[in-house]
Structure 1
Amino acid sequence: MPEVRRSFCRFCHANCAMLVTIEDGRVTKVQGDPDDPVFGGYSCIKGRQLPEAHHGPQRLTVSQKRGAEGFADIDTMAALDEIAAKLGAIIAGHGPHAVAVYGGTYAFQNSAGVGSALAFAQGLGTRNIYTSVTLDQPAKVYTTMQYGSWMGGMHTFAEADVAFFIGNNPIVSHYGPPGGLPPFSPSRRLRDALGDGLKLIVADPRQSDVAALADIHLPVRPGEDPALLAGIVNVILSEGLYDRAFVQRYVDGLDALQRAVAAFPPAAAAARAGVEENQLVAAARMFANGTKGVVSTGTGPEMAGNGTLTQYLVSALNILCGRFCREGEKSSIPRVFTPVTPRRAEVAPPMTPYGKGFPASRFRGLTHLGMEMPCNVLADEILTPGEGQVRALIVIGGNPLVAFPDQDKMARALAGLDLLVAIDVNAESATAKRADYVLAPKMCLEREDISNLSEWWYEIPYARYTEAMIEAPEGLIEEWEMLWELAHRLGTGLPLAGGPCPMDERPTKEAFLDLMVAGCAALPSQVRADTVDGKAVIYPELHPIVEAGDPDAPGRFDLAAGGMPDRLIAYGAADQPTPDFPWRMVSRRSRHRFNSTGQNLPALRAKRTTNPAFLHPDDLARIPCGDGDIVRIRSAAGEVVAVARAAPNMRPGVVSMAHAFGDPGIGPEGVREHGASTNRLVSESVRYDPVTGQSLQSAIPVAITPA
């Protein structure tokens, strides 16, 4: 008889509550859990493919080793023996910095994945730890550390009467940054909030799903988000709409910001941003006149060439309007598995996010951003001889060949490694196909996990510890276990928040997680003990109340920090792009793709196989081409071909394609079946953010011609 058990999805970071139907040891169905107090039965099309993901023919169920005749099966433990021996020789000959570890988006879906990757790199002593965070949204890390943070937390979407989304389409992406729309039944939740009186502003060059619901849609010209935001700040300051008492008590640098935005009066800002002046002014007044609610961004604006400047202005807007929880209120996003910090009506002093004192790359003056190296130096670190050259790369749940800038350069880099190890559920990923070893891990319904990744969106103290639902194929272990086994063989350690991981005998997942999140409000072992029938555990007593701030505390927001006002002035004075590349390519999310993994599931491929170039019908006539024709898209760095698709919701002059697609081994003739990667249009060493190293990966100037 079928058995139905409770768990949660780990296909993406939303971690939706699921009912899992199991029959004869196989998952036959997953669906949203209607009794869950947060998700209320919601699930998405990608999450509902977990049965096929686990049992379909694309699933890698045995580890692989490359030989003269191609890949052959190898026992995972035997593979780890060989990999450890090769790593040991590389470290002995070239030092620990010769080894790099990359944790991709899929690595985050195992609750121990990224934590163990960081611990493994620290145990080796290598500076070369990378994650997908520095590919798409490093500016959020930078601004959080650079400008200080409010210890009581920002307003949540649940309490907002106004919301401002910039380049964020959470109905599709299931991504809601702090204060934004949480990924819990996002369409229904947004419509309910609008019905209750929420005012919604959306800035996006296309009429996205959320933009179609907005009170004000600002179809901003790609890459010109700073002009739009500077104009809005100008209006708020000139009309005195900001929270004067909050600014006087907690904010420095207002004069520097006022000086910078003086060059962006509404008419000039609107012209630069490509929006109507009256709409820009209306948006400024609508946001400032709200009582609660924040400005939030998606990944697109950060990838559009001025990521840190955009995020600085977003932070400035939230700070000017005082969009933070005050003394006596419940603190936002209580978090159960995150280290406990004081929740006070006070500004935590800023931290230095990068630069002097941080491990340095050999390239472009870039250093660690927080705990990791910018992804966009990895290819050069591999290709360039000398002390510190990366010779071995371990990829965990990622696909650098399709996700990193300059695909051909990354292909050369991967080919030049002495050792490439991919931990992946799919041997057909572009990176895995080029690996020396492909290690097959357990999948999500075959392992224990906690909801630590998604708790940045929970507005109540909600926690989950799920058990394994089914047995994994024989011989498979988890990603963190593979790293433990390598560290054990190399004689290195895994330093964790709660102390060194035991290295004499591999600990249980529960014990590892307890060490990894030590200092949190409730340890995973406690949540596991409190779990009944697989349901989420709610801890109302752990929801902190914002305490009074220390009147002598020195912390203040500094809007002049990091030289950002001067950068805004320089941005306003910069020459506009030449007409050689008259279109701007922007990134987009898809309901039927999961970043660089998961595209090969039959139900998802049935929806779309290629990576279309969405264009306004007027632009199709301008090229000229028809809907479904192949077009050639060229930038200063390279070119791709794509299938043109008419999209009336696009801003004219803008083309939109998904990021992280394609394989350089598949030529243009395979475009309809496989699609192409937009990273072939960008270079990490020509236009990049000088703070984070992030490449221009959206708002790319391109020319389009018939193919």
Structure 2
Amino acid sequence: MPTKRSKTIARKGNEQTHLRTCTLCEAMCGIVVKHDGDKVLSIKGDKDDPFSQGYICPKATALQDLHEDPDRLRHPVERTASGWKKIGWPEALDKVAAGISAVQKKHGKNALGIYLGNPNVHNMGGMLTVKHLLNSIKTRSRFSATSIDQLPHHIVSMHLFGHMLRIPVPDVNRTQHMLIIGGNPLASNGSIMTAPNMRQKIKDIKARDGKVVVIDPRRTETAELASEHHFIRPATDVLLLLAMLNEIYIQGYADKARAKDNKAIALTPAIERMADFAKDYSAESVASITGISASEIKRLVTEFCEADSSVCYGRMGVSVQEFGLLCQYLIMVINIVTGRLDEVGGLMFPNPAVDLVNNSGPGYLGKRHTRVSHLPDFNGDYPVVAMADEMLVAGEGQLKAFMCVAGNPVLSTPNGEKLDEALAQLEFVVAIDYFVTETSRHANIILPPASPLEREHYDVTFNGFAVHNVAKYSPALFTKHKDAKHDWQIYLELAKRLDKKPALATRVERELTSRLGPKFVLDQGLRRGPYQGMTLSKLKKNPHGMDLGPLKRMLPQAIKHKDKQIALNVDFYQADLARVQEMMANYDAEQILLIGRRHVRSNNSWLHNSQRLVKGKPRCTLMLHPDTAKDYGIEDGQDVQVTSRVGCVTIVAEVTDELMAGVVSIPHGWGHGRSGVKQKIAQAHAGVSVNDLTDDTLIDELCGNAAVNGVPVQLKPVKVEADAEEIETAYEEAMSS
């Protein structure tokens, strides 16, 4: 059946032009797609998009690859003794509902676990309707990618500002001084800071005589462009931040900020307690462990505080380590006590057209705990590090079935081999996925949704982290095949089968959404938002997007606490300093530490079946410093055995001074060599999974977030025995000389 064409904005012969937003990362780049019927001709940046202004990264072209991929599932499949078998939608949905119901009837509601992967938040329909699926399956055994990513951001914002999504972002377009700790926005296009073309934004800061400083164990792409870069030992950022906070008070900058009558400071009643919070952490006391000298730490503080405007930002390298939550708290505190919160060029609150903060719960921490490891939930989600044990350890409440929605946790969560083993012994597994992946290969049934180019889009999530307020709706480029279903349709169909007697209000909402689609829910959100007269119809009349203006001061209105005060929750975070002291006392400076890394041509594990994105020099390598390589007798290009407490991989060495000595790096998201995977290009560029080395017992004990940076490992070069022909050739050459 030919694919129907969407409404377009221009036409030249048979060539048509379609405007939309790229959905493959956080940057929300506007793209122009030229197509002839159902054939994509090109994907380029939209120069008239008010947010991205023509910028796109290489990932945008993968939208075409994903849509056309011959390995992508276009119908439900069932795993049988003779392989995967195509089945129809009614049969597939009935079997999924029956499988879930059977397990829950036999073992209890919570015997079903569900995991929501990262792509869910890039999907308008999924974001606006997944609640129907979650409510219908009635399990408390929920997990998501949050706890191997941005969980600390949510908890800090919930504590300080009263809502888990009230996260301020750097005002990068106007700042004079940006301090980046453990972030690489040139590769990530921001990350909890939706900001396309960070390369240009950094250049702009420097062009206006500003400064960008990067703190990272690796000289990243961002660090290369920055004004200066400082190496730091992995997972010691907490010591640097404590010493900086201490220096802010020693040098008198906290008093100077208070004297300016800053609104954020005035709204923080417990701020005087921060003067003593870090008093035991002098710059001198942390220098040897962090690898940054006391004089440099003091200078970093002075220059940050003396700048006309400045902002401190930390991301993945800070979040996913043993002190990730305390680090993100200290970053927020540093911005507050120096008067940089809610100030132009500092840390400011976005004001999105669809206001999730005022239409969702504030979040909570620790209402329930996991059965085996007793880790706290956050907003109903348990930490991903607990998933495998909840499947493997026998006892009341053991997981017997699993639903994986748009995720690949075998490659994306710590101790992937253990999770692989756990999934294999479950009674029933279902995946909502485009492909047979390292995780979905364990499924009894896979339900594939329509492709991103076949669905409409509005960035429900990432407008809430945008460095400039915008709004844009994109209709579907192609109409899906009549035998395909959108993910939101899959959710509603399963909800109907699993929850046959919902409340009247729920039944009405499901029926309206089923008939009108998620744009019905989107329009309601726009009408209830902060911009008067904003509707879906209005957005449709502005296909390039609407410019809603730069970030503005929003205190105290932004605070969701009833008293409109910033709640520092000092006791909760101060208690974690005992763990910091223990780390300092037992620190092993000789230990080789593993960190991850990102690349602009990747996004976790889900873009490696695109030939455009994997071509070129292999990227799944073990980066290590020349001194580290020399110490272990490792040569560039040589295979190296890397071993941690939980696993071992063999990977080719890339000797480079990009990394500090004593640190090694393996990129995240690879490891496609497992049997049963049906992604030909990804398997041809398999690499190894760094999460076969990361440890599911290495966590941030304050919240249960995974600690995948700073993992202790051992290195061993792989000696290759020369074959007989090589030996004979070498002998003849030696004799002739």
Q: Same fold (TM over 0.5)?
A: yes
Q: CA deviation at 1:76?
A: 2.7
- Residue 666 of structure 2, aligned match among 634, 657, 672: 657
**Greater CA drift, 538-547 or 254-263:** 538-547
Counterpart of 2:322 in structure 1: which amino acid?
G
- Residue 453 of structure 2, aligned match among 445, 450, 475: 445
Q: Within 5 Å, give how 1:180-195 maps onto structure 2.
A: 182-195=194-207
Q: Does 1:142 align with 2:155?
A: yes
d(CA) in 1 for partners of 2:265, 2:96: 58
Q: Which residue does the alignment assign to 2:41?
A: 28
Q: Does 1:367 align with 2:371?
A: no
Q: Give the TM-score, by structure 2 length.
A: 0.86
Counterpart of 1:471 in structure 2: which amino acid?
T
Q: Which residue does the alignment assign to 1:8?
A: 21
- Residue 72 of structure 1, aligned match among 70, 85, 109: 85
Q: Does 1:58 align with 2:71?
A: yes
- Residue 499 of structure 2, aligned match among 475, 491, 502: 491
Q: Does 1:106 align with 2:122?
A: no
The runs of 5 or more residues in structure 2 that have no matched partner are 1-13, 677-681, 719-737
Q: Which residue does the alignment assign to 1:313?
A: 330
Q: Does 1:164 align with 2:179?
A: yes
SS in 1 for 2:33: strand
Counterpart of 2:473 in structure 1: which amino acid?
Y
SS in 2 for 1:644: strand
SS in 2 for 1:333: coil
Q: Does 1:292 align with 2:305?
A: no
Q: Which residue does the alignment assign to 2:228?
A: 216
**Greater CA drift, 54-63 or 253-262:** 253-262
Counterpart of 1:164 in structure 2: which amino acid?
L
CA separation of 1:154/1:596 partners in 2, compared to 1, >3 Å: closer, same or farther?
closer
- Residue 386 of structure 2, aligned match among 374, 377, 390: 377
Counterpart of 1:602 in structure 2: which amino acid?
Q
CA separation of 1:26/1:471 partners in 2, compared to 1, >3 Å: closer, same or farther?
farther
SS in 2 for 1:193: helix
1:587–1:698 Cα contact (<8 Å) kept: yes
Q: Does 1:234 align with 2:234?
A: no
SS in 2 for 1:221: coil
Q: Does 1:704 align with 2:715?
A: yes
d(CA) in 1 for partners of 2:155, 2:636: 41
Q: Give the TM-score, by structure 1 length.
A: 0.89
Counterpart of 1:403 in structure 2: which amino acid?
S
Q: CA deviation at 1:152?
A: 11
1:642–1:671 Cα contact (<8 Å) kept: no
Q: CA deviation at 1:560?
A: 5.3
1:614–1:644 Cα contact (<8 Å) kept: yes
Counterpart of 1:465 in structure 2: which amino acid?
Y
1:581–1:703 Cα contact (<8 Å) kept: no
Q: CA deviation at 1:535?
A: 2.1
d(CA) in 2 for partners of 1:362, 1:523: 47
Count residues in correspondence.
689
- Residue 88 of structure 1, aligned match among 80, 85, 101: 101
**Structure ID, larger Rg:** 2
Q: CA deviation at 1:248?
A: 6.3
For residues 196-248 of structure 1, give each alpha carbon's deviation from its aligned partner in whole angstroms, at most 9, with x where no partner exists. Answer: 12221211011112212333322111110011111111111111112224486
Counterpart of 1:442 in structure 2: which amino acid?
A
Q: CA deviation at 1:533?
A: 6.2
Q: Which residue does the alignment assign to 2:10?
A: none
1:400–1:431 Cα contact (<8 Å) kept: yes
Counterpart of 1:53 in structure 2: which amino acid?
L
SS in 2 for 1:442: coil
Q: CA deviation at 1:536?
A: 0.8
CA separation of 1:524/1:688 partners in 2, compared to 1, >3 Å: closer, same or farther?
farther
Q: Which residue does the alignment assign to 1:346?
A: none
d(CA) in 1 for partners of 2:454, 2:392: 38
Q: Does 1:571 align with 2:586?
A: no
- Residue 262 of structure 1, aligned match among 276, 279, 298: 279
Q: Which residue does the alignment assign to 1:325?
A: 342
SS in 2 for 1:466: coil
1:333–1:456 Cα contact (<8 Å) kept: yes
2:173–2:201 Cα contact (<8 Å) kept: no
1:610–1:673 Cα contact (<8 Å) kept: no
d(CA) in 2 for partners of 1:628, 1:163: 36
Q: Does 1:589 align with 2:606?
A: no
Q: CA deviation at 1:601?
A: 0.9
Counterpart of 2:666 in structure 1: which amino acid?
M
Counterpart of 2:370 in structure 1: which amino acid?
S
d(CA) in 2 for partners of 1:454, 1:351: 18
CA separation of 1:657/1:564 partners in 2, compared to 1, >3 Å: closer, same or farther?
same
CA separation of 1:152/1:426 partners in 2, compared to 1, >3 Å: closer, same or farther?
closer
Counterpart of 1:426 in structure 2: which amino acid?
F
For residues 228-275 of structure 1, give each alpha carbon's deviation from its aligned partner in whole angstroms, at most 9, with x where no partner exists. Answer: 111111111111112224486333445654434222211122222111
Q: Which residue does the alignment assign to 1:678?
A: 690
d(CA) in 1 for partners of 2:621, 2:395: 41
For residues 600-651 of structure 1, give each alpha carbon's deviation from its aligned partner in whole angstroms, at most 9, with x where no partner exists. Answer: 1111221355621111122222221221111011122322111111222211
- Residue 401 of structure 1, aligned match among 406, 410, 424: 410
- Residue 244 of structure 1, aligned match among 233, 252, 258: 258
SS in 2 for 1:100: strand
1:58–1:601 Cα contact (<8 Å) kept: no
CA separation of 1:549/1:15 partners in 2, compared to 1, >3 Å: closer, same or farther?
closer
Q: Which residue does the alignment assign to 2:470?
A: 462
Q: Within 5 Å, give how 1:265-664 maps onto structure 2.
A: 265-325=282-342, 332-339=349-356, 341=358, 353-355=364-366, 358-427=367-436, 429-492=437-500, 501-503=509-511, 506-507=514-515, 508-514=517-523, 519-521=528-530, 526-532=535-541, 534-539=543-548, 554-559=563-568, 561-574=570-583, 582-609=591-618, 611-663=620-672
Counterpart of 2:702 in structure 1: which amino acid?
V
For residues 440-462 of structure 1, give each alpha carbon's deviation from its aligned partner in whole angstroms, at most 9, with x where no partner exists. Answer: 21111111111212202334441
Q: CA deviation at 1:52?
A: 1.7
2:342–2:554 Cα contact (<8 Å) kept: no
- Residue 175 of structure 1, aligned match among 187, 190, 194: 190
Q: CA deviation at 1:113?
A: 1.7
The runs of 5 or more residues in structure 1 that have no matched partner are 343-349
For residues 417-452 of structure 1, give each alpha carbon's deviation from its aligned partner in whole angstroms, at most 9, with x where no partner exists. Answer: 22211122222x211222111222111111111121
CA separation of 1:512/1:95 partners in 2, compared to 1, >3 Å: closer, same or farther?
farther
CA separation of 1:148/1:250 partners in 2, compared to 1, >3 Å: closer, same or farther?
same
1:325–1:331 Cα contact (<8 Å) kept: yes
Q: CA deviation at 1:578?
A: 6.9
Q: CA deviation at 1:558?
A: 4.6
SS in 2 for 1:93: helix
Q: Which residue does the alignment assign to 2:705?
A: 694
d(CA) in 1 for partners of 2:122, 2:369: 29
Q: Which residue does the alignment assign to 2:213?
A: 201
CA separation of 1:237/1:142 partners in 2, compared to 1, >3 Å: closer, same or farther?
same
2:124–2:518 Cα contact (<8 Å) kept: no
Counterpart of 1:136 in structure 2: which amino acid?
D
2:625–2:660 Cα contact (<8 Å) kept: yes
SS in 2 for 1:147: helix
Q: Which residue does the alignment assign to 2:679?
A: none
Percent of aligned positions that are identical: 24
SS in 2 for 1:81: helix
2:349–2:558 Cα contact (<8 Å) kept: no
d(CA) in 2 for partners of 1:470, 1:485: 22
For residues 469-520 of structure 1, give each alpha carbon's deviation from its aligned partner in whole angstroms, at most 9, with x where no partner exists. Answer: 1133441111121111001112358999999622488232312444678843
For residues 125-163 of structure 1, give each alpha carbon's deviation from its aligned partner in whole angstroms, at most 9, with x where no partner exists. Answer: 221222211112211111111233698956622221211
**Greater CA drift, 657-666 or 105-114:** 657-666
**Greater CA drift, 111-120 or 132-141:** 111-120
1:501–1:512 Cα contact (<8 Å) kept: no
